[in-house]
Structure 1
Amino acid sequence: MPLAALFGLLIALLFISAFFSGSETGLMTLNRYRLNTRADKGERAARFARRMLKRPDRLIGTILLGNTFSNNLAAAIVAIITAKLFSNSTAVLITTAVMTLVMLIFSEVTPKTLAALHPERVALPSAYVYWYLRLPLFPFVWAVNLISNGILRLFGVTPEDAAQHSLSSEELRTVVLEAGAMIPQRHQKMLLSILDLEKATVEDIMVPRNEIIGIDITESREQIRETIIASQHTRLPVFDGSIDHLKGVVHLRRAVRLAAEDKLDTESLLALAAEPYYVPEGTPLNQQLLNFQNQKRRVGFVVDEYGDIQGLVTLEDILEEVVGEFTSDPATRIKNVYADADGSYRVSGSVTIRSLNRNLNWRLPTKGPKTINGLVLEQLEALPQTGAQVAIGGYTLEITDARANVIKSARIWPPKTGLAQRKARAA
C-alpha cells in the first residue's frame, strides 16, 4: 500500500478513535433527567440513547470494541510506515513515543474534554451511530460481555445494579439547589419544602388542644349558633363538655343549613357528624399527607401514647408547608406575629418555632419544645412572670403577658436588634 494511503488511513483511524472516546464520555455524563424529558417529547436520538443506557455493559462493550480495534490498527499502520521509512530501532521508539502523544492529545484528551463540557451535543448524534452499529457487532459484544459479566459476578456485581440506584433526599436537595436558573425560584422553594416534610412531624404544625374551636353540645342552642356563625373553619369538631369527649366532625355548610332551618339540636348535630380521625404523634408530615389522601380525610386529631388529644392537624396545614401561607402580604404571613419598628416581633405564645424559622429565616432551636411558650418555659425552669427575659441562641425573648402559668404573648429581638436593645438599656 502506498505511503499516502497509509497516512490517510492513519488519520482516519485517529478521528474514529476520537469519536469513540468522546462519545463514551458524552453518553456516560448525560443528564438523565434532561435525557428522559427529551425522550418523552419524542426526540429519536434521545430515545436511542435512553434505551442503550439501560444496559451500559452492552453500550460500553460496543464502544470499547470499536475504540480498541481502531487504536490497534493505527498502531499497526504506524509500525508499517516506520518500517518503510526507517530501518533502525531508535526510529521505532521515537515514532512510538510521538504516536502515543498524538493519540493522547487528539484521540483521548481533546474529545473527552469536549464531550464532558457539551455532553448532549456529542452524545445524541453518536446515539444514531451506536444504535445501528450495535446490530452487526452484537455477536462480538455478546461474547465479550458474557466473559466480563461472569468476572463481575465473582465480585458480587451484576449489570442490573445500574438500574437500582436511587437518590436520597439530601442528594435530591443537591440536585434542586444546583439546578439554579433552570428551576424558577418559587418552584425551587416548593420542591425543597416537599423534601423537608419528612423532617417535620404533625406536632410541629398542629393547632394545640387549648386553641381548638369546636361545637360543645352542652352549650345552649344560641351559643352553638353563634359558634357556627363566627367560625372561619370549614369543619368543626363536636364534643361533649371538652375535647377529650370528641363525638365527631361536622361540615360547617351542613351545620349552617340546620341553623337556617331552625333544626339545630344535639341529635341533629350528632347525626351529621363524621367519625373523628386520629393521628399518632410523631407522624412525619410526608406520611400524614399520604394518610390523608388514602383515608380521604382533611382533618385529624393528634393523640399521644395514652390516647389523649394533643391538637388538630389539617390537610391545608400540610399544604401550606409546601406552598407557604395563602397570603402574599409578608406582614400577615404568620398568624399572631407582628413586626415593630425597632426590629422586634410581638408573638403569641402558641406560635410554633418552625413557622418563625421558616418565614423569618431565624434559627431558633427546634429540638424539644414546639412553641414559644414551651421554649421559654424550658429555659426559665420556673413559672413565667411578665417582664422576664431569656437569651436563646442570640435571640432575646421577653414575656409581655403571662397568665395561668402560660405565656400568652412575648416579644422577640433577633440577634442584631437584641444586642442593640441590650446596649440601649445598659446606657
Structure 2
Amino acid sequence: MNEVPLSILSGILFFLIILSAFFSSSETSMLSMNKYRLKHLVKSGHRSAKKASKLLERPDRLIGVILIGNNFVNILASAIATIIAVRIWGDAGVAIATGALTLIILIFAEVTPKTMATIHPEKIAFPASWVLTVLLKALYPLVVIVNTMSNGLMRLFGIKHIHGNHDTLGSEELRTVVNEASGLIPPAHQEMLLSILDLEKVSVEDIMVPRNEVIGIDIEDSIEEIIEQICQSRHTRMPVYNGEINKVIGILHARHAAQFLREPNPTKAALLKATLEPYFIPESTSINTVLLNFQKDHQQMGIVVDEYGDVQGIAALEDILEEIVGEFTPPQEDEEEEISILEDGSFRIEGTTHIRDINKALSWHLPTDGPKTLNGLIIETLEFIPEHPISLWVDNYMIEIQEIEDKVVKYARLEHKR
C-alpha cells in the first residue's frame, strides 16, 4: 500500500493545529464571558447568546465535549507529526517531533488563542457555541460517559453541584462593579448608585433634623403667634406639639395650613382638626427601611424617637432623597453654608453638620461609628464641653473651635494634615 504523501500529512497536521486552537479558544472564551452581559443579551433575543447560555448551564458537559475534541486532535497531531519526522530524520525524528510539536501547540494552539479569547470572549464564544452545540449532540454518549465518571470522582471530594454557577452579587461586589464602570456610567449616576447601596448602612439618625433644630408649632402658644409662625415658615410640614417637642400631637401640612388660615376665625380646635396623625420612626432604623415604610404607609415625614419614646428629631422623604441625589436647594439668604473653604485651604464647618456629609463632600474619613455631628465628635474627643475656642486632633484632622453658643460648637475650622 502506498504511503500517504508528506504534503497531505502536513496539511492534515496544519488542520489539526487549527482545530486545537479552536477548542482552546472556545474553552477560554466560554468561561471568560461576562455572565451578566450574557444574561442581558439572552433577554434581548441574541441567538448566539442563547446558545452559549444553554451550554454554560451544564459546564461539565461543555468542558467534556471541548476536552474530548481537544485531546483527540492533539493526540492525532502528535502521531502524524511523529510519522512526518521519522520519514525525514529517521529514529531521531521522534524526539524532534515531540519538541517541535510541543512548541507549536503551546504557541499557536494554546497561549495565542487563549489570550485572544480572554481579550475578546464574545467574538469567539458566540460563533463557537454553534459548533460546540452540534459536537455535543454528535458526541453526547461519549460525553455522558466521561461526565459520569468525572462527576462520580468529584462526589468523592464532596462536590455535588455540577450545574452552572448562578452568580449573585452582594452589595460590596455590586459596589465594585459600579466603581469599575466609571467610564461607562456618568459620574452623577455613579454617585447615585453608590448612595443607594449605602442606604442599608445609614440609619435615620444620620440624616434627621435634630430636635434642637426642629421648627414646630406649640399648641399652647396664642393663636396669633401660631398664625404668624405658620405664615413665616419655609417648611411644607411642621410637627404640632403640646408644650414640649416630646408631646407631639400631629403633623401640619402646608396645604391644610392654608385651609386653616382661610377660615374667617381660625381657632386652635380648627388647627388640631387640620393636623395629621404623627408617624414615628425608631432612631436605629436604616433609611432603606424608612423609605420602604414611607412608600407602604404613604408618609412623607416621620418623628424620630429613641428607645424611651423621646423625640430625637424629624426625618422627611426629602432628607432621604437628598442622601441619594444630593441637596435639592441651596442655603437660604440668611443662612451660611455648612461647609465653606477658607483662603488657606482649610474649611469652616458648622458644628451641627453631620460627619457623613463632611466625609462625602470633602472625601475625608472622619470616624462615623460614634457621634453623628461634628459638635458631638468634638465633645466626645475632649470629654468635656468647651467654654472657649481651643484646638484638638482627631486622627489626621486638626480641628480648631471658632465659635461656641449655648454649650454647643457653632463653627470650627478643620484641616486635613496628610
Q: Do Structure 1 and Structure 2 share a fold, with TM-score over 0.5?
A: yes
Distance 1:50 1:231 in 2: 60
Q: In the alignment, what sits opposite 1:316?
A: 318
* Alpha-carbon displacement from aligned partner over 1:359-387 (angstroms, at most 9, x marks no partner): 12233222311112212222332232142
Distance 1:118 1:165 in 2: 21
CA distance in 1 between partners of 2:94 and 2:341 (Å): 82
Q: Which residue of 2 aligns with 1:280?
A: 282
Matches within 5 A, 1:292-331: 292-327=294-329
1:204 counterpart residue number: 206
Of 1-10 and 265-274, more deviation after overlay is shown by: 265-274
> Shift of the alpha carbon at 1:270?
3.3
Q: Which moved more, 1:259-268 or 1:304-313?
A: 259-268
The farther-off stretch of 137-146 and 97-106 is 137-146
For 1:63, the aligned partner's letter is I
Equivalence for 1:402: 404
2:249 maps to a residue whose letter is K
Cα deviation, 1:168-217, whole Å, max 9, x if unaligned, reads 33322222222231222222222222223333222211111111122222
Distance 2:160 2:148 in 1: 12
Distance 2:109 2:263 in 1: 87
Partner of 1:423: none
The residue type equivalent to 1:61 in the other structure is G
Q: 1:168 to 1:227 in 2, by over 3 A?
A: same
**1:188-337 correspondence runs (5 A):** 188-262=190-264, 264-327=266-329, 335-337=337-339
Q: Is the 8 A contact 1:207 1:311 kept in 2?
A: yes
Query: CA–CA distance in 2 between the matches of 1:31 and 1:332?
Result: 53
AA partner of residue 107 (structure 1): A
Query: 2:103 matched to which residue of 1?
Result: 101
Closer, same or farther: CA 289–146 of 1 in aligned 2, 3 Å = farther
Q: Distance in 1 between matches of 2:151 and 2:56?
A: 16
Q: Quote the residue 1:175 is aligned against.
A: 177
**Corresponding position: 1:413 with 2:401:** no
Cα–Cα, structure 1 residues 57 and 275, in superposed 2: closer, same or farther, change >3 Å?
farther
Instruction: Give SS of 2:139's match.
Output: helix
Matching residue's letter, 1:231 = S
Corresponding position: 1:370 with 2:372:
yes
C-alpha distance 84-348 of structure 1, shift in aligned 2 (>3 A): closer
The residue type equivalent to 1:275 in the other structure is: E
- The answer on whether the counterparts of 2:349 and 2:414 sit within 8 Å (CA) in structure 1 is no
| Secondary structure in 1 matching 2:250 | strand
Q: Which deviates more from structure 2 when the two are superposed, residues 168-177 or residues 11-20?
A: 168-177
State how far apart, in whole Å, the 2-side matches of 1:155 and 1:228 are: 73
1:57 is matched with 60
CA distance in structure 2 between the partners assigned to 1:282 and 1:275 by the alignment:
22
CA distance in 2, matches of 1:122, 1:76: 28
Contact 1:202–1:284 under 8 Å retained in 2:
yes
Q: Name the stretch that deviates more: 272-281 or 9-18.
A: 272-281
Deviation at 1:244, TM superposition (A): 0.9
Match of 2:354 in 1: 352
Q: TM-score, normalising length from structure 1? A: 0.87
Tell me the residue number matched to 1:110. Answer: 112
Provide the C-alpha distance between the structure 1 equivalents of 2:108 and 2:336, rounded to a whole number of angstroms.
61
Segment of structure 1 superposing worse, 300-309 or 110-119: 300-309
CA RMSD of superposed structures (Å): 2.8
Measure the CA separation in 2 of the matches of 1:316 and 1:160: 48
Deviation at 1:14, TM superposition (A): 0.8
Aligned counterparts of 1:159 and 1:399: Cα–Cα separation in 2: 61
Corresponding residue of 1:393: 395
Count matched residues. Answer: 414
Higher helix share goes to which structure?
1
Q: Relative to structure 1, is the Cα distance of residues 34 and 263 closer, same or farther in structure 2, using a 3 angstrom cutoff? A: farther
Alignment gaps of 5+ in structure 2: none
The one-letter code sitting in structure 2 at the alignment partner of 1:41 is: S
How far is the alpha carbon of 1:112 from its aligned partner?
0.5
Say which is worse superposed, 71-80 or 106-115, in terms of deviation.
71-80
State the 1:247 CA deviation.
Answer: 1.9
Instruction: Decide whether the 8 Å contact of 1:395 with 1:414 is kept in 2.
Output: yes
Q: Report the CA distance between 1:55 and its aligned residue.
A: 2.6
Q: Which deviations, in whole Å up to 9, do the C-alpha atoms of 1:226-265 show, x marking residues without a partner?
A: 2322222222222212221112223221221221234643
Worse overlay, 344-353 or 5-14: 344-353
Looking at structure 1, the residues matched to 198 and 218 of structure 2 have their Cα atoms a distance apart, in angstroms, of 37
- Secondary structure in 1 matching 2:49: helix
- Give 1:20 shift: 0.7
Q: Whole-Å Cα distance in 1 between the matches of residues 236 and 146 of structure 2?
A: 67
Question: Is the Cα contact below 8 Å between 1:300 and 1:313 reproduced in 2?
Answer: yes
Specify the alignment match of 1:422 in structure 2.
none
d(CA) in 2 for partners of 1:333, 1:91:
90
Taking the aligned partners of 2:66 and 2:194, their CA distance within structure 1 comes to 39
Q: Secondary structure at the match of 1:312?
A: strand
Q: Within 2, Cα distance between the matches of 1:226 and 1:146?
A: 83
CA 1:73 to 1:205, structure 2 compared with 1: closer, same or farther past 3 Å? Answer: same
On the 8 A contact 2:16/2:77 being kept in 1, the answer is yes
Q: C-alpha separation between the residues in 2 aligned to 1:154 and 1:274?
A: 66
Question: Secondary structure at the residue paired with 1:182?
Answer: coil
Percent same amino acid at aligned positions?
Answer: 48
- 1:424 match: none
Give the residue type in structure 2 aligned to 1:20: F
- 1:267 positional shift: 3.3
Q: Which residue of 1 aligns with 2:42?
A: 39
Query: SS of the counterpart of 2:245?
Result: strand
Deviations, residues 60-111 of structure 1 (Å, cap 9, x unaligned)? 22212221222222223334445555652x3222212221221111111110
Q: Which runs of 4+ in 1 moved over 6 A?
A: 331-334
Q: Distance in 1 between matches of 2:85 and 2:338?
A: 87
Q: 1:301 to 1:183 in 2, by over 3 A?
A: same
Determine the C-alpha separation between the residues in 2 that align with 1:153 and 1:352.
55
**Cα pair 2:65 2:136 within 8 Å, conserved:** yes
Distance, in Å, in 2 between the alignment partners of 1:333 and 1:63 is 70
SS of the residue aligned with 1:305?
A: coil
Deviation at 1:40, TM superposition (A): 3.2
The Cα shift of 1:328 comes to 7.9
Task: Rate the CA distance shift 1:324–1:152 in 2: closer, same or farther, 3 A.
Answer: same
1:66 to 2:69 alignment:
yes
